[in-house]
Amino acid sequence: MATNFSDLIFNPTIDGIVPPGTTGSINILTGMNNSGKSAYLKQTIDNKDKLYIGVNRFYSFHHLQFYNGNNNELDDFYNSMFHTKRQPFQNFEGAFFNAATALTRLTNHRRKALFKTFKELFGHEIEVKAEDPNNEFSNRYVSVDGDSLSVTSSGTRLFLGILAAIMDERFSTIAIDEPELGLSPILQRRLSEVIMGPRYSSNLFPHNPNIIISTHSHLFLDKINPSNNWIVSRENNNISARRCIDFSELHDIQLRLLGNDLGDLFLPHAVIFVEGETDKMYLEKVIRILFPKTRAVVQDCGGDIAQRLNYWAQSIGDIQTSPYRERTFAIYDKVEQAGLDRICNRLGLPDNNKIKWSGNGIEYMYPESSIREVFKTTSINSSSITIDGDYVRCGTISYKKMELCRMICDTIDKSTIYPKEFEEKFLSTFLNIAAISA
């Protein structure tokens, strides 16, 4: 059992994540609760030019304290944290550097740059004002559109405090524990863009600090460079971290480790493009019976699957790097639409998700037991049926496709046995999606 931080063993050490002499690096630590992410951040702080911003940073303030240029301030911060770290059974979550302190440590020029950025992002005018406009010795406060920062949202204070701390040129490394705390999704996204994107870095962070973040929010993952993301895990006193390998694993981090399952976001677990109404009706009934917890959208494409796939790709971006790559299906008959296979390959659809039936019609994928029941005989199966335009015939009995599909769907239950081709091509592949979404 670990009683203090010195009992923990890190692999790699923090120097393996942020090597000495590095500048301008971005590293994102993610993992389950109690995996050791925060412990890694606290190991980062081995020198007074490195700042740890803990999770206990919710507070309000009105007046700004005057800054008297305390040369021992960083030594005091570091010593306080160092001694806390060495205490048995003692964790620490404080920021050691609050928003009011961070704002007053910036020069006038740097503070104006921060306020200008805030206005560009959110449209709010922000400035430092005197409590009594007629007395230059009165207390100062931060005004946001004429109101004190103390009565604005806590998210605004947290946002400004984190950015002001990163802008402090005395620090070469900033470790931020769960920057998403207290921030709306919009504020999270904006903070992530400012910290990790190139647009603001030269103006706000000319000293090029290293930034290391622990997070449970997909909005703070580095989606440009997957290798900047780390997966942290713990076994007893041993804490390990490994780099994200590629975009595929990055999607897995987002959807599984962080709990941001597509179903949790009320998005479908899978999207299935089919040729017509009966394909849609039949597949929806099968999925509802066999995979009741899996939310799938079956799209009737009116015979033009290629066009619908292109629309889908335009709406979600590159399918090849999307969480929907393994969750997008195109299902079509033996005589396929011209150019459909080429479109599927261009969009990066996996081979198993391109399902081409051996016959021309979903009717050949109906369960044999259902066909026998509907056509009221024991001597026929799916290969006994013939399709003539909109009619399906078996022996002397015929039904319109839509009418037959409704009757077939009424016979299906959990005990239904499906044709081997349907099992192998569709159900076995879709089962993987259902397992992830369960």
Q: What was the pLDDT predicted at 338?
A: 83
Q: How confident is the model at residue 364 (pLDDT cuts 50, 70, 90)?
A: very high
Would you state the pLDDT for residue 408? 95
Does residue 317 register a pLDDT over 80? no
In this predicted model, what pLDDT tens digit does every residue of 66-120 receive, in sequence order?
777 777 777 777 777 766 666 655 555 655 567 888 888 898 999 999 999 999 9
Q: How confident is the model at residue 63 (pLDDT cuts 50, 70, 90)?
A: confident
The mean pLDDT of 417-433, rounded to a whole number, is: 92
- Give the residue from 192, 214, 190, 157 showing the smallest Cα distance to 27: 214
CATH number of 5-257: 3.40.50.300
Separation in Å, CA 166 to CA 24, 111, 231, 422: 12, 12, 24, 57
- pTM of the complete model: 0.64
Mean pLDDT for the chain overall = 86
Average pLDDT on 309-328 reads 81
Q: Which of 15-29, 45-59, 244-258, 375-389 has the lowest mean pLDDT?
A: 244-258
- What integer is the mean pLDDT of 243-251? 82
Q: What is the pLDDT of residue 85?
A: 65
Query: For residue 141, how many other CB atoms are within 10 A of its CB?
Result: 18
Identify the residue with better confidence: 419 or 263: 419
Give residue-wise pLDDT tens across range 126-181: 998 888 889 988 888 888 888 888 878 888 888 999 999 999 998 999 999 999 99
Handedness of CA 109, 113, 116, 122 (dihedral sign): negative
Q: At what angle do helices 154-167 and 185-196 cross, to 10 degrees?
A: 10
**Has residue 427 got a pLDDT over 70?**
yes
pLDDT value of residue 412: 96
Identify the three-state secondary structure at position 328: strand
Given a cut of 90, whether residue 42 has pLDDT beyond it is no
pLDDT at 3 over 80: no
Task: For the beta carbon of residue 1, count every other beta carbon within 10 angstroms.
Answer: 5
As annotated, the residues of the chain forming the CATH 3.40.50.300 domain(s) are 5-257
**C-beta separation of 308 from 299 below 8 A:** yes
Q: What percent of the chain has pLDDT over 90?
A: 41
So what's the pLDDT on residue 356?
Answer: 93
Is 264 a residue whose pLDDT tops 60?
A: no
